[in-house]
Amino acid sequence: MKLREYQSIFARNVARLILWCEKEKYEVTFGEVQRDPAWQAQLCAAGKSKVKLGYHNSRLAVDLNLFRDGTFATHTSEYEPLGIFWESLDPLNVWGGRWENFPDANHFEMRAPGVTIERWVA
């Protein structure tokens, strides 16, 4: 499968997640979606990322800011229902809240087997 095809599936899954959030009375806003390699390098240097190139660089990751009753959610447990729903949409979907060494609760990505990240970045 080509990157464009993964991106299309990813976009539909993000739409489904946002609609599910609305139904469940969660409010979400966008954080980062696309990230250029220079910004990724700065995040790594600051210790805010552990990968040289990641799924944001290929437009296969989104950070969603979660609000309940107007209050910004800051704990991984608050994002868990979203993570569970996200992972139920596609076996390639990964929720960052499950990462033991570097939890990233507001991060939702789609893995793309057979395509290396280096090939994705222009």
Tokens describing residue 45 = 């240097």
Q: At 88, phi and psi to the nearest 5?
A: -75, -20
- Round to whole Å and give the CA distance between 51 and 58: 13
Instruction: State pLDDT tens for residues 41-59.
Output: 888 888 877 777 778 888 8
Q: Say yes or no: domain 3-120 is CATH 3.30.1380.10.
A: yes
Domain range list for the chain? 3-120
Is residue 35 within 8 Å of residue 54, measured between CB atoms?
Answer: yes
pTM for the whole structure: 0.86
DSSP SS3 for 67: strand
Contact 22, 1 (CB under 8 A): no
pLDDT, the chain, mean: 89
